Structures are given as C-alpha cells and as structure tokens.
Chain A
C-alpha cells in the first residue's frame, strides 16, 4: 500500500549545528542580533562606546607626564601631537601625588600613617576572613589605641592609660557581677574606668612611668593631616564606630524600655533628618562658639564624631531592617531555650539580622566613605580641598580633570574593594536553598 506514512528505519547521524548557532557567530546572533530591533540597538551602543572611548582613551594615554607647569604641558602636547587639546597633563599628579595622599603630614614621618594603614589591614584580616589565625584578634583589640598614637604622636602612656581603663572596666564587670549583680557591676565599672582615666591613670602612667621611660612619638597637629589619608582616617573611624553604635541604636529602637526607645528614635530621626553638611558646619563653627574661647577642641576629632553619629543613625535603620526581616519564631525560639536578652541577641538574632543587612551595611559604609569629601567645604584639606590648593599655584592653575580623575580613581579602589568583599561575604554566608 502506497498510502502508508513514512517510517524512518534508521537514525540519522549526528550533525554539527548550523554555523550560526554555536561559537562566536552563534553567540553574536543570539545575544546581539536576535532581531532587527536588537541589531539596531547593538549598533547604536557600539557607536556610543566607540565615541566615548575614542575621546577618553587618547586623553588618558596620549598624555604628558614630565612637565613643570600646565603651560609647559601644553607646549609639549602641541609639539608632540600638534594640538594641546584632548591630552591629559598627568605631570600634575606626578608632581603632587604624595601631597594628595598625605596632605601636609611631615614627610620624614610618612612611615607612621603607612604603618598605621598596614596594621589596619592586618587587624582587619581576622574580622573579614575566618581562615586567618585568631590570635591576631589581640592586635585588633589594641588597634584603636595604636591608630591615634601613630597618627597624632605624643606619649604612648596616654594611650596605654586609656586602654587600661577599658581593661579595668571589663575586669570589674567580670569579677563583681556575682557580688553586686549585673547592673551594679556595670555602674561600678564605668565609675572605676572614669576614675582611672581622670586621676589614677595620668598620675601613674603619664607622670610616673612616663617620666622614667618616656616613650613618645613626635606630635603632629591635626592641621597637617590631609589628602587621601584624612579621608581614610575619617572613613575608617566612622565605619568602625558606626556599626556597634548602630546595632545598639537599632536594638534600642526595638526595646520595651520607654526612655531608651524614645532616645534612640529621636536620635535616629534627628540625625537622618539633617544633611551631613549641616552637621559638619555645626562641628566646625557652632561648637567653636559654644565652647569657652581659647579651648581648641581638635577639628578632625569634631568632624569624626559628627560623621560617626551620622553614619550610626543610618546604620541603625539598616540593621533594624534586618531585624524586621527575621521571623517572629526566631525570637520565640531563643526565649524557649532559656537564653537571656543578650545571649539571644548574640547567638541567634544578630548573626541572622546582620547577614540579611550586609548589602545595606556595606552601602552605608561606601556612602560614608565618599561623604568624607564634604569636609573640604569646612576648610579641611581632603583630596578635593587639596586639589583647590594645588590649582591655586600659578604653575597648575586651570587644571581640573586630571586631579579629579586621580581622586576618583583612589576612591574607586577603596569603594570597589568594599563592594566586592560584601559580595564574597554574601556568597559565603548563603545558607538557604535559593
């Protein structure tokens, strides 16, 4: 019967896919030219990229590195390419990069901020990576005291005394809480630490041991701080302090204790309600007027406190978001295990809440770090402030893009690393089955 349908009796051999479906061509076809509309978009995008790069790349790479002034740069560019337009003058960076990094910090003491930075990386390592030996935590614990000593100099004993005050406070809590109860122990430890800081410590260490063993670094005044070092210093302190303060504020806001809750809410809402720049103006001008004339409350310290407070308020809200995302069962589970408030926070609530908040926390960190450039408006010599100072020299007057590009590059390195680390951390801590 001839009307029988076709039945294949043998299987056709495997064939290579058509040329347009695999390899480079296939990828291009499926991703860039899948239909006429995408093809047009591809061409427009390509043209746009080419247009930007053709302007930027020659500017960056066909540039002048060796010149003493902007006009010399222009002469060299004109002699080399026939036109001084569209060629960067990196000579200004070559001339001033040290200043852009360190400000007016005395050049023979550059090792101190560099050492402080290296120690910062080392003491951060155990916090950031679990594979690092835990013993380094001891360095992390004393680093907050090493940093100001290295940066500002002065007698080491003032910082040792400050450190011992904390040790003393901890010891009091540890050994008296069984006798006088937890609250009593905390009150005692605060009193003990304050007495130590104000009376015993200075007497014993600064004057006693300090006189016998004067271990001091040459003091550097805050006005000499500047450049990227200043941005990093303010950023690190604000980031380092704002996380714990933010956690406390977030917990305070969720607390049942009325006064604590009210204070936290008002603090957060007030700080978030005003721009950082007004806080900086308060730090730089208003505080000066409130305080008795002649008191010279360090300007960088004032700025650090303000930036820290600012960052803490944002941090508190980010962490509150993390807390709100936790199911009610987690809190109840912690209670049912018989854990007290701090134990449940430390062991169950915070690890989860912080993990949820990582992207928000890191965004806040990055934002705070970039906000440090605002200090140029109150006359501190951060990289942007210095760029104005550099431009005020007759040799470099009129140079803009090169300085801004360099500063942007410095900030990009730090912010991009933070962002990549947070992605690494998120991947590492991912426990759900999404």
Chain B
C-alpha cells in the first residue's frame, strides 16, 4: 500500500514539480502559480473564508505580486506556515515568498540568509489591561501579573522593559494567543502583552471591548514585512518593488478606482513611470509595462489594503499611526520610481 502511494503521488507531484533550477521569477511564470507562505490564520492579516478563499493584509501582498508577475491575482497557492515551519519552507524552496508578519531582525536577515524586501506593517509590543484596574500607563504596572507567550521576542522585551524601569512583575507563561485570551479574560493575569496589532484584534473579540484599555506605551520595534531567499536578487527586486508600487501608489493618489483612468497617461511623470506609460521600469524587472497597474488593481494601493483589512472601519480598528505615509508623519516611505 505504501509503495503504491509513493509511486502514485510521486507521479502526480512529479508533474507539478517540473524542472526548477532557473530563477524564481522564471519558475513562477513557468508554473503559473505563486507559492506564497502565509500564517495559518491571523486576524486581519491572513484568514480563509468559508469557501477557502484567503484574504487579509499579508494575503494582499501575495496577490499583488501574483498579479504583477502572472497577471492573475487568483494564481496564488497559499501555503499555511506556522512560526516553526515558515523559515525552512522558504529556505527549501517550498514557497517563493513569505508574507507572514515576520519581524525583520538582524539574525533572520543575515544568519538565516533571507532578504527582507521591505516593511508592510510597523508593529510594536503593547499592553492591555481591564479598565477597572485603573491603570492608564505601562509605567504604573509595578508588581503586575502579566500573561505572556513563551519563547517569543515579546518575552525578552517584557523583561527588558521592566528591568530598565526598575519594576517587578510576575509572568504567567502561556503557549498560544488563543489560550492567552482565555486566561486574561478569566483574570489569571492583570495585564496581557503582545504585538499592538494583536492586542487590538484580540480586544475586538471580547464581549465588552470597552472594558479594556490599551496602554499608550509601545516597548519594542517589530517591523513586519515580506521576505524572500538570499541569492535571487531579481526575484527579490520583483517583490520589493511590487510592495513599493503599492506604497508609491498611495502617495501619488493612485487607487484601484482610478488606476485605469490614470494609466491612460497623466501630467505626473512618476505616475506615468509607475504605470508603465513612460519609461521601461517593468522591462528592467523582467516584467511587462503594466505590472504595477495590475498589482494596484487587485486590492488597491497600500492605504486601501490597510483600510480594508485592518483599518479603523474593520472590527480590528487599527489606526494608521506609524504606518501612515511619510507625508502624514508616518514611516511608510518608498524610494522613487525612476
């Protein structure tokens, strides 16, 4: 029985695998689908609906790349990865890119041999506490019990924060975010700490979200962004500039609604270069001239993606904050399209 399985499925898988030695861009185009690693489920960032259709902020990046490279935003094979499998999946070539809110750190970039192509969400570790506790600032948390996920950078950040402020705390170690929510609601800890986006998403699911406050302090830097393997710079450029195209589109006021109209030609040469009516930026990437236009048409520009998936109109209700355009005082900044 086992032998037949090996033979049978190898035959099928063999067809799908094909030859893979050329650049990732060629591989993706030859395969006709983009293998994009996402989270197994994270509110607002990646989630399958009842029909198995993925959506979310990270998923939007995958779809934009697929649209730019393949001309079809549906031609994405989403590979759910866990925190433990994500890096090997990318390193082994099982996925072409990883968009799974992964923090850009030195060791991941240098030691694990990955290429972070940019930042699509600037996150940071925050605190949440019940309103009745009467705490309005993390500086007042001396002696608090804190629910914390073990084995994460948040655990180390927490220790650093309390030590540098000469405060003491009692950690309540917890394995998963789901468990953390239950423990926090059951009163096992005074304070719950994790990434601020996760806190907001968690609070949105409570029966009475208004009974809980998020502290204003952010105690760590968590720049989250898509990444690719070292060694294929051309593919890295494609992903990097697709992300930049979404950011630039917002800065220049190109939206999914008006991109068709603008691609006929405008007075702004940068828009023209972005949308391929001037210059040959697409050809330099190994794509056609319309690549950025297609990427923008899928889910809109960066701002639209943000508002649709995690913005203030959604249940998660994240404010732009650090993730506003640099022109609005945020950190989202794309190098020029020139």
Contacts and interface: CB of A to CB of B under 8 A. Distances in A.
Interface of A: 70-71, 74, 84-85, 95-96, 98-99, 103-104, 107, 144-145, 148-149, 152-154, 158-159, 162-163, 166, 197, 206, 219, 221-224, 237, 240-241, 281, 284-286, 288-289, 291, 293-301, 304-305, 308, 376-381, 385-386, 388-394, 397-398, 400
Given A294-B17, A296-B13, A377 B82 contact: yes
Contacts of A304: 5
Contacts of A144: 1, 4-5
Given A379-B85, A393-B43, A301 B50 contact: no
A393 B49 contact: yes
B50 A96 contact: yes
Main secondary structure, interface of A, reads: helix
Given A288-B88, A300-B9, 13 more contacts: A99-B48, A103-B52, A145-B4, A154-B15, A223-B78, A286-B88, A293-B93, A294-B17, A294-B27, A301-B10, A379-B81, A391-B178, A394-B314
B331 interface: no
B316 A296 contact: no
Nearest to A395: B315
B80 interface: yes
B316 A85 contact: no
B272 interface: no
Interface string B76-96: 011111101100110111100
B40 A296 contact: no
Q: Which 5 A-B pairs have the closest CB atoms?
A: A398-B205, A294-B20, A392-B41, A288-B92, A392-B47
Given A145-B8, A389-B80, A391-B41, A398 B48 contact: no
B87 to A, nearest CB: 9
B2 A308 contact: yes
Nearest to B179: A400
A153 B11 CA distance: 11
Interface string B36-74: 000111111111111110001000000000000000000
13 contacts: A99-B52, A148-B8, A154-B12, A241-B1, A301-B5, A301-B6, A378-B85, A379-B89, A380-B80, A392-B45, A392-B47, A393-B47, A400-B182
Contacts of B48: 99, 104, 386, 389-390, 392-393
Select the residue from A74, A149, A285, A304 with max chain B CB neighbours within 10 A: A285
A152 B9 contact: yes
B16 interface: yes
Contact of B2 (A197, A241, A381): A241
Nearest to A161: B7
B43 A163 contact: no
Contacts of A104: 48, 52
B309 to A, nearest CB: 9
A99 B50 contact: yes
Nearest to B229: A293
A137 to B, nearest CB: 15
B207 interface: yes
Contacts of A99: 48, 50, 52
Contacts, number: 179
A298 B78 CA distance: 15
Nearest to A305: B2
B201 interface: yes
A378 B82 contact: yes
B9 to A, nearest CB: 5
A392 B1 contact: no
Interface string B93-127: 11000000000000000000000000000000000
A237 B3 CA distance: 12
Nearest to A297: B13
Contacts of B88: 284-286, 288-289
Select the residue from A144, A296, A379, A393 with max chain B CB neighbours within 10 A: A379
B181 interface: yes
B94 A390 contact: no
A214 B48 CA distance: 35
B206 interface: yes
Contact of A394 (B8, B20, B315): B315
Select the residue from A163, A206, A299 with max chain B CB neighbours within 10 A: A299
Nearest to B21: A294
Interface string B195-214: 00000011011110000000
A162 B7 contact: yes
A224 B16 CA distance: 14
A219 B314 CA distance: 37
B4 A397 contact: no
Nearest to B204: A397
A163 B13 CA distance: 19
A391 B45 CA distance: 12
A385 B42 CA distance: 12
A385 B80 contact: yes
